[in-house]
């Protein structure tokens, strides 16, 4: 009888365990070591084997039948080489190993997703109060400004996690706004920027606009500098102005009003972070009151 080369490894495994394979018409049957026909435990009569299985399904059914009736062990399946052992000590086939590796991979991805979701939640809890102090998401251009700063800050600090473009950074800002989970690289970009902004909470707004000017390529704000050197000569006394009667009834000379720098600075700081649709007249009126107080000094 001609035996297919595909089925031969299975028959060799059965013979190795003391079984005999004998012809039975166009097929074959299995005899145990005492010459008795092996009966299928499923009650389907003798274990019959096709000498030329037509497809892998037939072959797999034969393997299952051999294992079920103890003709071969699970680790003797010639088409599933063994690789290690399972937790219960039974042999582990390559297919089972692939499944185990895939399950471990999926669990690793799920764990990483949970970690990124938690990081995003913490970032959003720090980010939203800052946006609110700057005028909120409704302020015109806020989303674009935030994306520009996130991109420029990571890029100029040499971070490999920096987004590829300003547009990519703006998409990251949108994801934070919507509460979507950020990528690990995006988390880093927001975290380093937040650490900088939170370093001096009282000066957060000033720091934001300094970074915005830097990102736009504008010169930084001029800071007052202290020059160490010989003392300056006293300033000349200005010409006396007209007499003014104060509330105490005493006449004093007024040497001209001081420069109204306080009113201008107050107006500028109050305008920072205000929504575009807000009427600035209220802030201008406050600045006028400050100016009047300055001039009365």
Write out pLDDT tens, residues 176-195. Answer: 999 899 999 999 999 999 99
Percent share of the chain, pLDDT over 90: 30
Given a cut of 60, whether residue 247 has pLDDT beyond it is no
> Per residue in 130-189, pLDDT tens?
999 999 999 899 999 999 999 999 999 999 999 999 999 999 999 999 989 999 999 999
Q: Domain boundaries in the chain? A: 8-79, 120-216
* pTM beyond cutoff 0.85: no
pLDDT in tens, 87-127: 555 555 556 677 778 888 888 888 888 899 999 999 999 99
Question: In the predicted model, is pLDDT for residue 10 greater than 70?
Answer: yes
pLDDT, average across residues 1-17: 78
Residue 261 has pLDDT above 50, yes or no: yes
What single string gives the DSSP state of each residue in the chain?
Answer: ----TTTHHHHHHHHHTT-EEEEETTEEEEE-TTSPBPBPTTSSSB-EEESS-SSHHHHHHHHHHHHHTTSS-GGG-TTS-EEEE-TTS-EEEHHHHHHHHHHHHHHHHHHHHHHHHHHHHHHHHHHHHHHHHTT-TTSTTHHHHHHHHHHHHHHHTT-TT--SSHHHHHHHHHHHHHTPPPPHHHHHHHHHHHHHHTSSGGGHHHHHHHHHHHHHTPPPPPPP-PPPSSPPPPPPPPPP--EEE-TTS-EEE---PPP-HHHHHHHHHHHTT--TTS-THHHHHHHHHHHHHHHT-
Confidence (pLDDT) at 100? 79
């Amino acid at each position: 009888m001609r035996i297919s080369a595909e089925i031969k490894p299975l028959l060799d495994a059965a013979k190795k365990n003391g079984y005999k394979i004998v012809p039975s018409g166009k097929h074959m049957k299995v005899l145990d070591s005492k010459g008795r026909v092996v009966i299928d435990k499923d009650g389907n009569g003798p274990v019959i084997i096709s000498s030329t299985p037509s497809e892998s399904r037939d072959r797999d059914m034969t393997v299952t039948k051999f294992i079920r009736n103890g003709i071969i062990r699970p680790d003797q399946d010639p088409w599933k080489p063994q690789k290690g052992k399972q937790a219960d000590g039974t042999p582990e086939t390559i297919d089972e190993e692939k499944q185990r590796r895939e399950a471990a991979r999926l669990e690793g991805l799920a764990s990483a997703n949970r970690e990124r979701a938690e990081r995003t939640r913490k970032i959003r809890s720090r980010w939203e109060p800052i946006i609110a102090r700057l005028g909120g998401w409704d302020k015109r251009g806020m989303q674009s400004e935030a994306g520009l700063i996130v991109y420029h800050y990571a890029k100029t600090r040499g971070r490999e996690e920096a987004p590829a473009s300003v547009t990519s950074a703006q998409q990251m800002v949108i994801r934070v706004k919507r509460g979507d989970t950020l990528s690990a690289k995006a988390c880093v970009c927001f975290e380093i920027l937040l650490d900088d902004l939170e370093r001096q909470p009282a000066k957060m707004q000033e720091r934001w606009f300094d970074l915005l000017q830097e990102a736009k390529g504008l010169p930084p704000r001029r800071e007052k500098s202290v020059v160490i050197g010989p003392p300056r000569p006293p300033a000349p006394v200005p010409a006396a102005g007209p007499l003014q009667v104060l509330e105490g009834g005493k006449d004093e000379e007024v040497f001209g009003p001081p420069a109204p720098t306080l009113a201008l600075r107050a107006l500028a700081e109050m305008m920072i972070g205000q929504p575009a649709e807000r009427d600035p007249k209220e802030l201008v009126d406050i600045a006028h009151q400050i100016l009047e107080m300055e001039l009365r000094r």
